[in-house]
Structure 1
Amino acid sequence: MFTVLIVDDEPHARQELRRALSEAPDIRIEGECGNAIEALAMIARNKPDVVFLDIQMPQITGIEMLGLLDHATMPYVVFVTAFDDYAVQAFEKNAFDYLLKPVTHDRLELTLDRLRHNRRAQDFSVLSEATRLRQIPCFGQHMVFLLKIDQVEYVESRAAGIYVVDLDGEERPTDVPLNVLQQRTPLLRCHRQFLINVDQVQKLRYVDSGLAEFVTRRGRPIPISRRLLPSIKERLGIV
């Protein structure tokens, strides 16, 4: 028995895939999502074994969504696409499982047989959209705000969660882990709780006991850990 999540912005496509998967006795469908933001929350909450993931979705594509997940702990992914030859060639070259819309019974059975007996290792590093983020999904009241990376001043990890601070100082929570933001954005790790946009750094200031901190263009001090200070100075060309 394995659990499945369906992610597709087309309700009819979700319905058809759910109906086809429901015929398999060893599959439990955890749910379905109409966009990447909903999918991120459901994956974190339900931890499905397999995600059937549509590629062409508005705002955040299916492949871009993979960049928001920790590849070390993410579920197995079966891509679903209505087109095109280029995408199919890329999937075949890198041994990704995929389904073409409209999904046929025989092709789905082949995919399910692979899932049951021979799930292949998935290396998402070969998909550039899955290894870099152009924007960070942040949450407000009854809305999701997509903040572009160049509009970020810093990111802070707090007891209440991860908060992204923009150039105006507005704070927004996000579900994207700090380590994922470190790996897939140009933001610099300067402290175990902070990432900073180096383009927004006004100066590096030394404080007591050999410690240091960044000061942003907006005047916000951001701590630098003693352990990371040498590598940060080297990266910024500070002697």
Structure 2
Amino acid sequence: MTNEGQGHVGGADMRVLLVDDEQLAIDRLETLFADVEGVEVVGRAQDGDEALASIKALTPDLVILDVQMPGRNGLSTAASIDVEPRPELVFVTAHEHYAPDAFEVDAADYLLKPVRFDRLRQAVERARRRRSIREAAERAGTLEAENAQLRSLGSPPPPSEEAEFWVPERHGLRRVPVDSITWIEAARDYVLLHTDTRSHMLRATMSALEQKLAGTPLIRVHRSAFVRPDQVSEIKRANRTTTLVLKDGAVVQVGPNYADTLESALGL
């Protein structure tokens, strides 16, 4: 376990603990974090027990937590965190079979290995946004403050009953309106429904989603991705490949078969 001090350095507003039993994985994450603004890596841990000790000692704002570790795995570690305020969590995994257990934990995001820089940056922004909402709610001492903060981020009014997903959670199901989803990516046997404040994991096929999302703001741009056109901030073309840069920094590749649909939706 390496602790680098508990103070804020260089104006960093997110203090991060990295947890992975593979040193190469931690080294890669540190390299990626060097290019993420407003963060400071304050510690590293290589197993669950070490992680829990580091969380108590360092009180990080965000923990990047590998799921598959010897002994206490990432999910068990997350369930055992008993510090307040509880840090935001982002899980990293090379497998998807853990997904049903991940519903037990209110994580900001789930990243698949090898971790891409744009997805890591998006996960950090989502964790930062969640922390700000929680702090505002605590200051006001009411759930209404949290709702107001969510509305200020552009959360739309509840849509019709047809435009929604019900995703499994620890104590049942959560309603996720389609209008709250910024983009969707395939994660092997699951899909990740990305919103402003978290990602929801759902077992579904992309073809089934395409039918369900017909007539909604989300359009399919790749065999493994849907996006909301109003979330696109930039289009990049290079070597006959088109990619979209979304407002939250995520990068989504456009499949050749979906280029015409995208251009029509964007009014190009």
What range describes the TM-score normalised by the shorter chain of this pair?
A: 0.3 to 0.5
Larger radius of gyration: 1
Normalised by the size of structure 2, how large is the TM-score? Answer: 0.41
Normalised by the size of structure 1, how large is the TM-score? Answer: 0.46
